[in-house]
């Protein structure tokens, strides 16, 4: 079973001005495609060949973990956007955010601070544990909360290729504006 190269549920210019067509072209069209191709090359003829992407990430090490982890993280990242975000979460996720962080505004401040404070390349996740408790998790390189028994509710890519064409070295600006394109219905679905 090959690892799938996802199809975006929106046009490559749909997230502008927050994320431009140019960035999507490089990030989705080149970076993610390369990770998918490399993962499929590495699993061919191995014990991983018929596993789900999530199971590969849970069990793999070295180059396979790095490539499969990047595929999983990018899939979660790209599939959580819409051209006009819904602004704030509603329902059970909104309540869990308020219970954990005090308010949505406090959550976004803490999440942005985690992204700004992550040295080098990586990811910032809103993750839930097996009891549904939320936390902000930072991951270097291809790390994903799934390896710690958690599930991703929301993830923002803070590798430079995710924002540099649009924001240069202004990671904080990218993190502040990305809320405008979050599909909170997707985040709610992941939370439940």
Angle separating helix axes 91-101 and 184-191, nearest 10 degrees: 80
In the predicted model, what is the mean pLDDT of residues 28-38? 95
Domains 21-78 and 91-191 share a fold: no
Q: What is the rounded CA–CA span in Å between residue 150 and residue 138?
A: 13
The 10s digit of each residue's pLDDT in 34-88 is 999 999 999 999 999 999 999 999 999 999 999 999 999 999 999 999 998 778 8
Q: Are 39 and 68 in contact (CB under 8 A)?
A: yes
CA triple 60-48-125, angle to 5 deg: 45
Which residues fall in the annotated binding site for Mn(2+)? 27, 74, 157, 161
Q: Which two tokens stand for residue 190?
A: 């992941």
Confidence of residue 167 (pLDDT cuts 50, 70, 90): confident
* pLDDT at residue 47, as a whole number: 94
Cis peptide, bond prior to residue 131, ω within 30 of zero: no
Superfamily of domain 91-191: Iron/manganese superoxide dismutase, C-terminal domain (3.55.40.20)
Is the pLDDT confidence value at 98 over 80? yes
Q: In the 3-class helix/strand/coil scheme, how is 156-175 assigned residue by residue?
A: EECCHHHCHHHHCCCHHHHH
In the predicted model, what is the mean pLDDT of residues 126-146? 95
* pLDDT at residue 148, as a whole number: 94
Say whether domain 21-78 belongs to CATH 3.30.565.10. no
Confidence of residue 170 (pLDDT cuts 50, 70, 90): confident
pTM here is 0.94
Q: What is the rounded CA–CA span in Å between residue 47 and residue 152?
A: 25
Which residues fall in the annotated binding site? 27, 74, 157, 161
Confidence of residue 169 (pLDDT cuts 50, 70, 90): confident
Please report, for the chain, the start and end positions of each structural domain, with discontinuous segments joined by +.
21-78, 91-191
Q: What is the rounded CA–CA span in Å between residue 146 and residue 144?
A: 5
* pLDDT at residue 185, as a whole number: 93
Task: Count CB neighbours of 68 within 10 A.
Answer: 30
Confidence of residue 188 (pLDDT cuts 50, 70, 90): very high
Mapping DSSP to helix (H, G, I), strand (E, B) and coil, where does residue 116 land? helix
Q: What is the rounded CA–CA span in Å between residue 22 and residue 26?
A: 6
In the predicted model, what is the mean pLDDT of residues 126-131? 96
């Amino acid at each position: 079973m090959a690892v799938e190269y996802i199809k975006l549920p929106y046009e490559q210019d749909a997230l502008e001005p927050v994320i431009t067509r140019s960035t999507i072209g490089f990030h989705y069209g080149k970076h993610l495609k390369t990770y998918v191709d490399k993962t499929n090359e590495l699993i061919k003829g191995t014990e991983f060949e018929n596993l789900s992407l999530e199971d590969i990430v849970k069990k793999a090490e070295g180059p396979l973990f790095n490539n499969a982890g990047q595929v999983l993280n990018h899939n979660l990242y790209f599939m959580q956007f819409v051209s006009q975000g819904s602004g704030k979460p509603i329902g059970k996720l909104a309540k869990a955010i308020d219970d954990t962080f005090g308010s949505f505004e406090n959550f976004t401040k803490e999440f942005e601070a985690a992204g700004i404070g992550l040295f080098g390349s990586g990811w910032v996740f809103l993750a839930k544990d097996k009891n549904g408790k939320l936390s902000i998790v930072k991951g270097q390189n291809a790390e994903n909360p799934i390896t710690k028994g958690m599930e991703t509710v929301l993830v923002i890519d803070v590798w430079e290729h995710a924002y540099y064409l649009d924001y240069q070295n202004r990671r904080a600006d990218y993190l502040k504006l990305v809320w405008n394109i979050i599909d909170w219905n997707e985040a709610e679905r992941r939370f439940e």
